[in-house]
Amino acid sequence: MSRLFRYLRNTLVGGILVALPVVLFVNLVIWVGEWVGDQATPLARLLADYLDAPLWVGKALGIAIALGVCLALGVFVSNTLGGRIFHWVESRTVGRLPGYKAIKEVVEYFGKNDRNPFARPVIVRVSEAVTLTGFLADERVDSCTVFIPTGPNPTTGLILHVPPSAVTRLGAPGAEVLKTIVACGAGAQNVIGTRRAA
């Protein structure tokens, strides 16, 4: 009986572990879609009334227009003149509002790969026999700052300041290295095998 119970328990846990990420992802997509749809509702009603179409058509067109505006802004600020004009206008308008700079820095931090704290995985040698898996946070000619996350929660950890000679870059993507930390070291040997010269 205990064998059957163990089998049922393990099978149930396995099914939950497979289904949970899918359920969470689907719910996240639905939530984001509803939030964007709610934000676009005033424009959607206007478009739906103008086109004599259902509200969902107005929402779809509103989202398409918002994406088009974002694309046009991206094209505008990606060239030198457009970037200068945008920064000039920004610094004299919304840039003066309290909190704007902090929000902008957070968005830029997560939007750029070179600022992602998990983008540059490394191995740090702390002694002849001990190395730590971490991420290069900052570097100078004579010093490196490395974030050593703790498993299974990689948002906490240690910050080490070490000489560059103690740091070896990994060829594996940051996401793969992060998975081994969340998994408390499972799969780390494959990642360590991707060491390369700094």
DSSP at 133: E
Instruction: Enumerate the β-bridge partners of residue 195.
Output: 170
177 in Cβ contact with 133 (< 8 Å): yes
pLDDT tens digits along 34-72: 787 777 788 888 888 888 888 888 888 888 888 898 899
174 and 158 part of one domain: yes
Torsion of CA 11, 17, 19, 21, to 10 degrees: -170
23 and 100 part of one domain: yes
106 and 147 part of one domain: no
All residues at 6 or more sequence positions from 181 whose CB lies less than 8 Å from its CB, including other chains:
133, 149, 150, 151, 152, 154
84 and 169 part of one domain: no
101 and 162 part of one domain: no
Does residue 193 or residue 122 have the better pLDDT? 122
55 and 77 part of one domain: yes
DSSP at 188: H
Q: What pLDDT sits at residue 117?
A: 67
104 and 7 part of one domain: yes
49 and 135 part of one domain: no
Percent of the chain with pLDDT over 70: 92
182 and 131 part of one domain: yes
101 and 119 part of one domain: no
Reported pTM: 0.47
User: In the listed set 45, 77, 111, which residue is the last one of a domain according to the structure?
Assistant: 111
Domain count, the chain: 2
Per the structure, the complete domain to which residue 144 belongs is given by 114-196
36 in Cβ contact with 63 (< 8 Å): yes
